[in-house]
Amino acid sequence: MAVETLKFLPWIPLLGAVLCAICCTSPALRRLAGAICVLSVASALALALGVYFGPQSQAALSGTTVHALRWIDVHSFSAGFSYYIDGLTMIMLFVVTGIGALIALYATGYMKGDRGYARFFFGVCLFIFAMTTLVMADSLVLLYLGWEGVGLCSYLLIGYYYDKPFAVEAAKKAFIVNRIGDLGFALGIFLTWTTFDTVSLHEAIEKARHILEHGGEITTAMQCIPFLLMAGAFGKSAQFPLYVWLPDAMAGPTPVSALIHAATMVTSGVFMIARLIPIFELSTYALPVVAIIGTFTALLAATIALTNNDLKGVFAYSTVSQLGYMFLGVGVLSTTGGIFHLFTHAFFKALLFLTAGSVMHALAGQLDIRTMGGLRKRMPVTCWLMFAGCLALAGVPPFSGFVSKDMILHDALARGLHGEPLFFVLAIAGLFTALLTAYYTFRLWFRVFMGPERFEMGEEHGHDEHAAHDEHASGGHGPHEMPWWPMNLPLVVLAIGAIAAGILAEYVGGEHGWMHTMIEHSTASVEHEFHGELFGLSLHSVMVVLSLLIAALGIGTAAYLHWLRRDAAGVLEQKFAPLVKLLVNKYYVDELYDLAIVRPLRGCGKFFNLIDDYLIQGFLVQIVGGWGPRLVGYVLKPSQSGRLQSYGVGMAVGVVIVMVILIFKLTGN
Amino acid sequence: MGEPINDVALAHFLLTGGLLFVLGMIGFLIRRNLIIMFLCTELMFQGVAVTLVAFSKFHLDVSGQTFVIFVLTIAAAEAALALGLVVLLFRSKHTLDAEAWGELNG
């Protein structure tokens, strides 16, 4: 298929969204929504694959602008629905539609029998539309449209259980925190327009490249752009200090957490920086700042995940942490590493969330891992699927998480050894975070699936009971395995990705591997070689050994404390009680924000409410607008006597007065 | 349009017009019968028309007379409408007394 056909891609899920919206209107149609969503996302994937494997693809896929629709065309400003197709776009399209289709398929089983079944799939379809628009956009304005679109869908789907106050709170929090970042992003786009005279991505990048290669004046405005865009990326991708919304976003249904808040939407910040990397290179400080914030967030979130007892909460903080790695990657100019980690993370984190969803589903909404144990006998498939995901997340060679994380840390270390001590420190912090990651990941897995069997059912008796007990015989009460179709099969595909995607993308396809080739043929390509030696060995081998040791140490500790000697964990917890308390309360960041931002703002709101009550409603409406006209009316009322003659006299007197004035005017002077 | 009238003749015409107008106004102000009041307004109309024609003759300018023709045409239409209204008012109150509608006060 010609590359031009890609312009139809985002509209297929949009059509699906419209159909799902129609399905919302009648209970009979409602059951169709799931199939519509899966089909539309899968056909978008098929289209992307068809173009990728089509005849003239390779040349066309290294940077083609495909025009679809005119949108804004005013004077010299023009922003249309034109798409920029290159290697990076294709990777993102595969992630969004591929992972999206698998998760949607899983969700048809997970959401079965839920009241808002069609509404859910409407949100998912709309999300895929917005996300594909985001990754394909050529104009920054169109990218912003997709950016806000995914934000909207995220809001709608976090607040999916709108009758639960915490879900509504979480949805609002996500939306508001994202606004802060998006303000920066919007300003960044404005400044790009005034500086580069274009909002087209590839034109702005060409101009930036030209300045970088041929030398040219780098104005202050140019140096400000990356920092403004960065704010948007940090908001959307949940980096410090705007990460607080993501853990709360887990109030949405689990497939949403997997799709939007792990695999795709939250990575769009990383995508955006990788996409615009030449613009970020214009400022000397922008990328190091990205790397520092990324590493700091990775470490911070990993420590919080250590003591979190919420099944999805651990994965939420781990997502924040892994996003930090990706930012470290693009920050050290290793765009391949950053996008590679985005790619593999999409597989294993989606897998982890969906298996966590299966556990939650089986336990009727129970999320507290302290109440769980030994579930491997009840849910063997879920157990080993999650195991595969955990191995990938913990960075055990040769699972996919290892390959990509290794590339990031390797590149950071290589730059660190070449006289940039900052990156050396960041790489060490990254390695330490890897240790924490291995520990908390397996802490959760051992807690849930190993040890003596115990469980407490949650309080959700709604759709779970129906769907689970009617559809697949579960043999009495208690947790049960999920059915193969449609739930466990997509997970198997994801697990294969979690195990092998890293190795395949690193070593198969092209001289330097598929991932490297794709990034090289995109706007994210950077001309930077990462080499280094440590202890007389190539840095690469050192990293493999180090990663293996770190993962073994982390997993070993987790196995000891949470499987073999659970009492030891309790003792340890007692010993470090203040630290544990600090971590359990997430460093009191939410409380701090509440005190420093939310309360003052709420105070302002109350103050302005008083103004509204007393000045606007009380004084202006009641007195000026109410009593004033009434008083005037009271005074003038008698003049409306209702007698024709008195009106006549009034008119006659008026005419006489006018005439007298006229006579005096004409003859007086 | 013939000879202009002199200012003595004009004064007579103006006096007639003014007299008609004042008579009409007094009638309008002191009578209560709706039809009489209506006739009085017509009287005021004619007073103005006479004045216009007189000035037209005095200045030898046809626009005054043209204007009067228009006024008469419109007055005819207006008279039909106003009389219809008077009939309606009579039907709802069974009296022609203008005071009967005093309840439409402010």
Mutation for testing the A interface, residue in B23, B29, B34 having most A CBs under 10 Å = B29
In a domain, B105, yes or no: no
Say yes or no for a CB contact (<8 Å) between A644 and B101: yes
In a domain, B67, yes or no: yes
Q: Is the peptide bond before A241 cis (omega within 30 degrees of 0)?
A: yes
Say yes or no for a CB contact (<8 Å) between A645 and B104: no
The whole-angstrom separation of Cα A599 and Cα A577 is 29
User: What pLDDT does residue A135 have?
Assistant: 94
In a domain, B106, yes or no: no
Say yes or no for a CB contact (<8 Å) between B99 and A649: no
Domain range list for chain A = 285-583, 591-668
Out of A636, A639, A645, the one facing B29 most closely (by C-beta) is A645
Residue B89: domain span: 7-95
The yes-or-no verdict on residue B69 having pLDDT over 90 is yes
**Within a 10 A sphere around the Cβ of A659, how many other Cβ atoms?**
10
| Cβ contacts from A onto B, under 8 A | 34
Percent of chain A beyond pLDDT 90? Answer: 55
The whole-angstrom separation of Cα A593 and Cα A591 is 5
Whole-model pTM: value is 0.80
Residues of A in contact with B99 (CB under 8 A): 643
Out of A640, A642, A649, the one facing B29 most closely (by C-beta) is A649
Mutation for testing the B interface, residue in A643, A646, A653 having most B CBs under 10 Å = A643
Do residues A63 and A86 lie in contact, with contact meaning Cβ atoms separated by under 8 Å? yes
Residues of B in contact with A636 (CB under 8 A): 106
Say yes or no for a CB contact (<8 Å) between B28 and A645: yes
In a domain, B102, yes or no: no
In a domain, B28, yes or no: yes
Is A635 within 8 Å of chain B by CB?
Answer: no
- As to burial, measured by CB atoms within 10 angstroms (0-12 exposed, 13-18 middle, 19+ buried), residue A264 is buried
Q: What single-letter amino acid sits at A136? A: M
Say yes or no for a CB contact (<8 Å) between A648 and B101: no
Taking an 8 Å Cβ-Cβ cutoff, which residues of chain B contact chain A?
25, 28-30, 32, 37, 98-99, 101-106
The yes-or-no verdict on residue B1 having pLDDT over 70 is no
Domain count, chain B: 1
Contacts 24+ apart (CB under 8 A), B72-79: B75/B42, B75/B45, B79/B38, B79/B42
Residues of A in contact with B48 (CB under 8 A): none
Region for residue A23 given its phi and psi (left: phi exceeds 0; alpha: psi -120 to 50; beta: otherwise): alpha
Say yes or no for a CB contact (<8 Å) between A642 and B105: yes
Is A215 within 8 Å of chain B by CB?
Answer: no
Residues of A in contact with B105 (CB under 8 A): 640-643
User: What pLDDT does residue A54 have?
Assistant: 82
Closest Cα partner for A40 from A67, A19, A66, A69?
Answer: A19
Query: Nearest C-alpha of chain B: how many angstroms from A642?
Result: 4
Say yes or no for a CB contact (<8 Å) between A649 and B30: no
User: What pLDDT does residue B106 have?
Assistant: 64
In a domain, B104, yes or no: no
Q: What single-letter amino acid sits at A250? A: M
Say yes or no for a CB contact (<8 Å) between B105 and A636: no
Please name the residue of chain A whose CA is at the shortest distance from the CA of residue B106: A640
In a domain, B1, yes or no: no
Say yes or no for a CB contact (<8 Å) between A648 and B25: yes
Residues of B in contact with A652 (CB under 8 A): 25, 29
Is A648 within 8 Å of chain B by CB?
Answer: yes
Query: Nearest C-alpha of chain A: how many angstroms from B16?
Result: 19
Q: What is the CATH number of the domain that holds B52?
A: 1.10.287.3510
The whole-angstrom separation of Cα A504 and Cα A516 is 12
Say yes or no for a CB contact (<8 Å) between B25 and A638: no
Say yes or no for a CB contact (<8 Å) between A642 and B98: no
Do residues A350 and A99 lie in contact, with contact meaning Cβ atoms separated by under 8 Å? yes
In a domain, B43, yes or no: yes
* Low-confidence stretches of chain A (pLDDT beneath 50): 462-476
Q: Give the distance from CA B48 to its chain's centroid.
A: 7
